[in-house]
Amino acid sequence: MLTKNMIDNCKKLFQLYIPNLLTYYTEKDFLTLLENLYSFTLLNDGKTANSNFVATFLMLVEEVKNNSSHELRNELGYFNYLLGQFEKVKKNKEFKNLVKGVINNFEKNDFKNVLAEIAVCLHLSTRAELVKYERVLQNKKSIDFEFKDDGNNLFLVEVYNIDYNSTKYEIGKPFEKFICERLEKKFNDKSANLDNDLKSRLLIFPVIHGLTIDIVRENKLFLTTLNKKRFYENGFNSFNPMSFAKVQGTYFDLFTMEEIAEGELKR
């Protein structure tokens, strides 16, 4: 059972490192989050198998206690920045559902997936309106987002994190094949048994991890024209990919391939 001292200490950490997250929770909801977090760690002997929010928060506790580094504090600082930026765009109930959904999903969500979903949602929300988080389609598949553009046209977006091992890099066709095969597989999984109208409005938003600046520059044409692919010709619809840039090993921001290729990593 959580003690008052444990609750107070956790709240102090949230207030210090991710204060914007507290704006998405009532006092009651925040206590429920802490209780669920605590119960999850008890069921797993104080451990978690992946790098989800539980693991990230536990590592933050250790980092602060030992004053070993600032890596987690910087990473959560970026998370806090994203939450604050969205508040500047507009208040949106669906975005709050997104934040709570990805934070409370202890079983599956890797924290980098949390960052990617929120960063992509923020990126798209500057040019379209978020209508729904976790839209369930007729085929029972769940899609991350439904957006509406200025012409009131609805489109569906699935954020897809792709891990790339740069030590296996080969310029040209092997790299293109690696990316396209994964995008096509993800698109086919989400669009199975849908009609062509829905398929035409479903897009994959790739966030690629592990790219170097040289890889981006050598494949700039390919990476900046993926948005021209269409499912009836290429097997998928896609946005151009984006990647997180890091400074001293911690997340800095989400950048386009053009920005990375040109070295314009500024915000």
Inter-residue contact 241 to 206 (CB < 8 Å): yes
When divided into structural domains, the chain yields a total of 2
Domain boundary among 126, 147, 166: 126
Mean pLDDT of the region 187-216: 95
What one-letter code names the amino acid at 32?
Answer: T
Please identify, among 101, 126, 151, the residue that sits at the C-terminal boundary of a domain: 126
Distances (CA, A) of 155 to 22, 39, 94: 30, 38, 15
* 16 and 48 belong to one structural domain: yes
Residues 214/263, Cβ–Cβ less than 8 Å: no
> Do both 92 and 132 map to the same domain?
no
- Name which of 175, 122, 130 is nearest 149 in CA terms: 130
pLDDT level of residue 139 (50, 70, 90 thresholds): very high
Amino acid at 161: N
* Domain match, 118 and 230 both: no
Mean pLDDT of 236-241: 97
Q: Are residues 155 and 230 in the same domain?
A: yes
Residue 115 has a pLDDT of 85
Sign of CA dihedral 80, 81, 85, 86: negative
Please give the pLDDT value at position 94: 81
Residues 212 and 260 in one domain: yes
pTM of this prediction? 0.85
Residues 136 and 229 placed together within one structural domain of the fold: yes
Instruction: Specify whether 88 is located in the same domain as 207.
Output: no
CB-CB neighbours of 251 under 10 Å? 23
Query: Counting every residue, how long is the chain?
Result: 267
Do residue 216 and residue 189 come from a single domain? yes
Q: Identify whether residues 200 and 112 lie together within a single domain.
A: no
222 is in which domain, residue-wise?
128-267
Mean pLDDT of the chain: 84
From the CA atom positions of the chain, what is the Rg in Å?
A: 19
Tokens describing residue 53: 């929010």
